[in-house]
């Protein structure tokens, strides 16, 4: 390895150490880029080693940020954030929890299944794990614990289901991945639909099956009200407008009628109407939602700006060739290379958020995978599932931290870890299924566009 | 990662934080501007809906509407970056920070701002200002027919936003500095000694 490649490795290591200080990730990324530019300049001037990075190279960061500004695809990002916030403020999740749990009232584990179903609906509306995990924990944990469900079972459900949001379209993570890899957002959304629903189905099967074998985990409800027509009607009334909105947004993208940007804007408009129709949209709520859209978009793009500077300097130091050569040199064959990438991504997910991994790591590894002859949609979906799994996994699963932060005191860290284990198993099964049958990810995009 | 702040509202649960008034005057000004700018999202929704209606109902594609969309989006996200700097909402990895004493956190922030945040602000300003000047000098407009003119105005939003980030970081630096080295800190140190 040359000196500049050692610098690239040191740069990545410094970044991981840097974020552990708890200083904002966006500034750490940008600051490390500047620090290593300075080091590269000194190494080249005073020690005579070629580094390829100097101050005029680093000042290309202005153009990189302009590329983010002049980007019509990423306009969809704040619009999806805004749509998710509006659906959240419209109180749909709370109403669903009330009515759907009555629908499943007589079933063992019915509340957990309810949380899973709401998670899928929420997943389609937000795509920010923090938000959906917290919302599910606040809505779902108290009734489950009150019904004397095992705390491990209840907590595991909330964590796992909440992370589905970053996978099930429209997910802002998938929008960013598609943008960074210059692929079609529609293709990637389509590719993630079956894997996302597959994981949701695995969860629900598990949630139903476990209490059947171990009844003490979820006692049968003592006084369940009968399911009557009015209950079914009210469930429909809760679910239909939101579901129709989400399906319309996705459908218009899938059938190529609208671009993701158009669909996201119209989706946000629909959510606005829905919130107004449910009389939840006062001026102060609207101002609050818009402001929150700014701040959520702000922290995403803060990291984008920092990561732009970081990726620029890392590339200047030859980081991309280093990764490509390292991956190609692995003695495992093509599938082994993909598995190695996924494993490392899984480990990185312990420390880094999806934003940095998508912005910095994914563009480095994706070309290698394409060169090996794999389908890019398939790989990106695997990458996404892998990231989602790592958010569930101790020691540093982000979803676990979120739930811990809002859960009642009887949910301690141990309970969370035990509760999450079976779901990590299900995730790995899902990952293996997608790995073995790439059609799970590639079939739907091929159908929509008629390409073989 | 930082926990999203949670509150209960009359309508149930909301994951949005109550946004408190920031303490200093500069931050209050930045905050007010940010709140005002956040209405671009509503404007953006309106522009997208208008463009979609024109395209699907009347079969008219307007390039200026499409460009207006990413112009508004760029203004919105840059204002958001400033807003997060003011409200300390940029993502932090809290795993170790949770266990740090408040004083150690202040030290981390002090060095973080001096070594990472302010240099980044300077680099962005140094690289963005010439882009704006060049755009202004050449009278740059959209390269597509019917696109928007005066591109330098949009390009100028980037350095303006980062001046905002710089202002927020200096204010924060002063806050942290007061806690670490100010009269109060000196007093409590002398008491301990």
What pLDDT score does A429 carry? Answer: 95
* pLDDT mean over A167-175: 87
How many angstroms from the chain centroid is the CA of residue B101?
Answer: 28
Q: Lowest-confidence range among A30-44, A58-72, A335-349, A394-408?
A: A394-408
Which of A67-81, B71-85, B172-186 is the most confident on average? B71-85
Residue from the list B109, B116, B123 with its beta carbon closest to the beta carbon of A59: B123
Taking only the tens place, the pLDDT of each residue in A249-278 is 888 888 878 888 999 999 999 999 999 988
Distance CA B186, CA B192 (A): 10
Distance CA A68, CA A75 (A): 10
Taking only the tens place, the pLDDT of each residue in B43-97 is 999 999 999 999 888 888 888 899 999 999 999 999 999 999 999 888 887 778 8
CB B27 within 8 A of CB B20: no
Please compute, for residue A190, the number of CA atoms within 13 A of its CA located in the half-sphere on the CB side: 23
- In angstroms, what separates the C-alpha of A334 from chain B's closest C-alpha? 34
Which residue of chain B is at minimal alpha-carbon distance from A81? B41
What pLDDT score does A128 carry? Answer: 62
Which residues lie across from B12 on neighbouring strands?
A: B9
Q: In sequence order, which residues have a C-beta less than 8 Å from that of residue A209 and are 6 or more positions away?
A: none
What pLDDT score does B10 carry? Answer: 38
- In angstroms, what separates the C-alpha of B62 from chain A's closest C-alpha? 13
With an 8 Å Cβ cutoff, is A35 touching chain B? yes
Residues of B in Cβ contact (< 8 Å) with A135: 13, 15
With an 8 Å Cβ cutoff, is A63 touching chain B? yes
- Tell whether the model's pLDDT for residue B13 goes beyond 80: no
Residues of A in Cβ contact (< 8 Å) with B112: 21, 23-24, 27-28, 31
**3-class DSSP assignment, residue B84:** helix
Backbone angles phi, psi at A52, to 5 degrees: 85, 0
What pLDDT score does A215 carry? Answer: 84
Q: Lowest-confidence range among A269-273, A309-313, A409-413, B83-87?
A: A409-413
What pLDDT score does B188 carry? Answer: 67
- Burial category of A6 from C-beta neighbours within 10 Å (exposed 0-12, middle 13-18, buried 19 and up): middle
What pLDDT score does B33 carry? Answer: 92
With an 8 Å Cβ cutoff, is A58 touching chain B? yes
Identify the CA nearest to B145 among candidates B63, B25, B70, B86. B63
Q: Lowest-confidence range among A114-128, A179-193, A420-434, B140-154?
A: A114-128
What pLDDT score does A89 carry? Answer: 83
Distance CA A90, CA A345 (A): 36
* pLDDT mean over A138-149: 86
Q: Lowest-confidence range among A322-331, A334-343, A385-394, B12-21?
A: B12-21
If you search the block for the tokens 């009734």, which residue do you land on?
A: A143
Taking only the tens place, the pLDDT of each residue in A9-23 is 999 999 989 988 989
Q: How many Cβ atoms are within 10 Å of A58's Cβ, its own excluded?
A: 23
Interface with B, mutate which of A22, A303, A355 (most B CBs under 10 A): A22
CB B155 within 8 A of CB B163: no
CB A41 within 8 A of CB A55: yes
Which percentage of chain A shows pLDDT scores above 70?
A: 96
Identify the CA nearest to A437 among candidates A385, A378, A365, A353. A378
* pLDDT mean over A180-199: 92
Q: Alpha carbon of A88 to those of A38, A117, A150, B9, B15: distances in Å?
A: 46, 16, 28, 12, 8
Identify the CA nearest to A444 among candidates A110, A125, A189. A189
Question: Sign of dihedral through CA atoms A144, A150, A152, A153?
Answer: negative
Residues of A in Cβ contact (< 8 Å) with B34: 291, 294
Q: Do A24 and B73 touch (CB under 8 A)?
A: no
Q: Do B12 and A91 touch (CB under 8 A)?
A: yes
- Tell whether the model's pLDDT for residue B8 goes beyond 70: no
* Mean pLDDT score of chain B: 84
Q: Do B52 and A262 touch (CB under 8 A)?
A: yes
Residue from the list B41, B51, B84 with its beta carbon closest to the beta carbon of A82: B41
Distance CA B81, CA B78 (A): 5
Q: Do B95 and A396 touch (CB under 8 A)?
A: yes
**Contact map slice: A 119-158 vs B, CB within 8 A:** 130-131, 134-135, 138-139
- In angstroms, what separates the C-alpha of B53 from chain A's closest C-alpha? 10
**CB neighbour burial string for A397-431, b if at least 16 within 10 angstroms, e if fewer:** bbbbbbbbbbbeeebeeebbbbbbebbbebbeebb
Distance CA A447, CA B142 (A): 37
- Tell whether the model's pLDDT for residue B121 goes beyond 70: yes
**Contact map slice: A 287-326 vs B, CB within 8 A:** 287-303, 305-306, 309
- Tell whether the model's pLDDT for residue B22 goes beyond 80: no
Question: Using only C-alpha atoms, what is the Rg of chain B?
Answer: 22
Residue from the list B38, B90, B113 with its beta carbon closest to the beta carbon of A299: B90
**Contact map slice: A 255-294 vs B, CB within 8 A:** 258, 261-262, 264-266, 268-269, 272, 280, 286-294
- In angstroms, what separates the C-alpha of B24 from chain A's closest C-alpha? 19
**3-class DSSP assignment, residue A20:** helix
Q: Lowest-confidence range among A283-287, B18-22, B121-125?
A: B18-22
**Contact map slice: A 164-203 vs B, CB within 8 A:** none
- Tell whether the model's pLDDT for residue A124 goes beyond 70: no
- Tell whether the model's pLDDT for residue A396 goes beyond 70: no
**3-class DSSP assignment, residue B143:** coil
- In angstroms, what separates the C-alpha of A21 from chain B's closest C-alpha? 7
What's the angle, vertex CA A57, arms to CA A7 and CA A306, rounded to 5?
A: 70
Q: In sequence order, which residues have a C-beta less than 8 Å from that of residue A197 and are 6 or more positions away?
A: A120, A168
Distance CA A101, CA A93 (A): 12
Residues of B in Cβ contact (< 8 Å) with A284: none
Residues of A in Cβ contact (< 8 Å) with B12: 91, 93-94, 139
H-helix or E-strand spanning residue B12: strand B12-14
* pLDDT mean over A139-154: 88
- Tell whether the model's pLDDT for residue A374 goes beyond 50: yes
Which residue of chain A is at minimal alpha-carbon distance from B89? A299
Q: Do A75 and B70 touch (CB under 8 A)?
A: yes
Residues of B in Cβ contact (< 8 Å) with A139: 12-13
- Name the residue with higher pLDDT: B110 or A229: B110
Contacts for B98-107 with beta carbons within 8 Å, 24 or more apart? B100/A22, B103/B179, B103/B180, B105/A22, B106/B176, B106/B179, B106/B180, B107/B180
Residue from the list B13, B117, B123 with its beta carbon closest to the beta carbon of A61: B123
Residues of B in Cβ contact (< 8 Å) with A67: none
Which residues lie across from B8 on neighbouring strands?
A: B13
* Mean pLDDT score of chain A: 87
- Tell whether the model's pLDDT for residue A35 goes beyond 60: yes
Backbone angles phi, psi at A309, to 5 degrees: -65, -45
CB A304 within 8 A of CB B80: no
Distance CA A105, CA A411 (A): 23
- In angstroms, what separates the C-alpha of B105 from chain A's closest C-alpha? 8
Distance CA A96, CA A121 (A): 10
* pLDDT mean over A81-98: 83
């Amino acid at each position: 390895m040359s000196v500049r490649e050692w610098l690239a490795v040191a740069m990545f290591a410094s970044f991981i150490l840097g974020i552990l200080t708890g200083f904002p990730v966006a500034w750490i990324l940008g600051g490390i880029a500047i620090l290593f530019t300075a080091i590269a300049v000194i190494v080249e001037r005073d020690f005579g080693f070629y580094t390829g990075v100097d101050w005029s190279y680093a000042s290309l960061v202005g153009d990189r940020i302009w590329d983010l500004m002049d980007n019509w695809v990423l306009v969809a990002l704040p619009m999806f954030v805004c749509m998710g916030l509006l659906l959240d403020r419209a109180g749909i999740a709370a109403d669903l929890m009330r009515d759907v749990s009555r629908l499943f009232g007589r079933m063992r584990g019915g509340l957990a299944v309810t949380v899973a179903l709401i998670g899928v609906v929420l997943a389609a509306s937000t795509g920010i794990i923090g938000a959906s995990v917290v919302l599910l924990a606040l809505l779902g944990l108290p009734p489950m614990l009150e019904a004397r469900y095992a705390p491990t079972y209840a907590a595991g459900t909330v964590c796992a289901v909440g992370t589905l949001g970053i996978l099930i379209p429209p997910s802002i993570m998938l929008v960013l991945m598609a943008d960074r890899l210059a692929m079609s957002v529609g293709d990637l959304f389509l590719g993630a639909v079956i894997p996302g629903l597959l994981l949701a189905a695995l969860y629900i099967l598990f949630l139903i099956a476990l209490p059947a074998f171990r009844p003490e985990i979820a006692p049968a409800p003592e006084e369940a009200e009968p399911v009557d027509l009015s209950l079914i009607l009210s469930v429909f009334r809760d679910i239909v407008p939101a579901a129709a909105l989400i399906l319309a947004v996705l459908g218009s993208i899938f059938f190529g009628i609208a671009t993701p940007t158009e669909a996201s804007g119209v989706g946000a408009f629909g959510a606005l109407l829905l919130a107004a129709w449910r009389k939840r949209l006062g001026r102060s709520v609207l101002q609050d939602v818009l402001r929150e859209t700014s701040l959520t978009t702000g922290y995403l793009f803060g990291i984008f700006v920092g990561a732009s500077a970081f990726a620029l300097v890392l590339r200047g130091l030859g980081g991309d060739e280093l990764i490509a050569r390292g991956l190609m040199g692995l003695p495992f064959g093509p599938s082994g290379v993909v598995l190695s990438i996924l494993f490392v991504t899984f480990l990185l997910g312990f420390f880094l958020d999806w934003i940095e991994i998508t912005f910095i790591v994914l563009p480095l590894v994706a070309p290698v995978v394409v060169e090996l002859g794999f389908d890019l949609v398939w790989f990106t979906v695997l990458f996404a599932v892998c990231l989602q799994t790592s958010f569930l996994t101790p020691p540093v699963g982000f979803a676990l931290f979120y739930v811990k932060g809002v859960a009642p005191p009887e949910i301690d860290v141990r309970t969370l870890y035990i509760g999450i284990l079976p779901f990590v198993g299900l995730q790995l099964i899902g990952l293996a299924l997608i790995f073995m049958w790439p059609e799970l990810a590639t079939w739907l995009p091929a159908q929509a566009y008629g390409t073989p | 990662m930082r926990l999203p702040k949670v509150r209960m509202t009359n309508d149930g649960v909301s994951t949005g934080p109550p946004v408190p008034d920031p303490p200093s005057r500069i931050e209050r000004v930045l905050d007010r501007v940010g709140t005002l700018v956040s209405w671009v999202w509503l404007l953006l929704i309106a522009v997208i809906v208008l463009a979609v209606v024109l395209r699907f109902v009347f079969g008219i594609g307007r390039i200026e509407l499409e460009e207006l969309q990413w112009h508004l989006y760029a203004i919105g996200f840059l204002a958001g970056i400033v807003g997060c700097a003011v409200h300390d909402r940029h993502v932090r990895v809290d795993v170790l920070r949770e266990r740090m004493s408040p004083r150690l956190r202040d030290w981390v922030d002090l060095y973080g701002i001096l070594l990472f945040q302010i240099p980044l602000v300077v680099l962005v300003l140094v690289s963005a200002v010439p882009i704006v000047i060049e755009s202004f000098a050449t009278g740059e407009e959209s390269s597509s027919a019917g696109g928007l003119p005066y591109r330098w105005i949009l390009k100028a939003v980037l350095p303006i936003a980062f001046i905002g980030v710089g202002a927020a970081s200096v204010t924060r630096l002063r806050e942290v500095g007061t806690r670490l080295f100010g009269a109060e800190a000196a007093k409590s140190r002398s008491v301990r000694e």
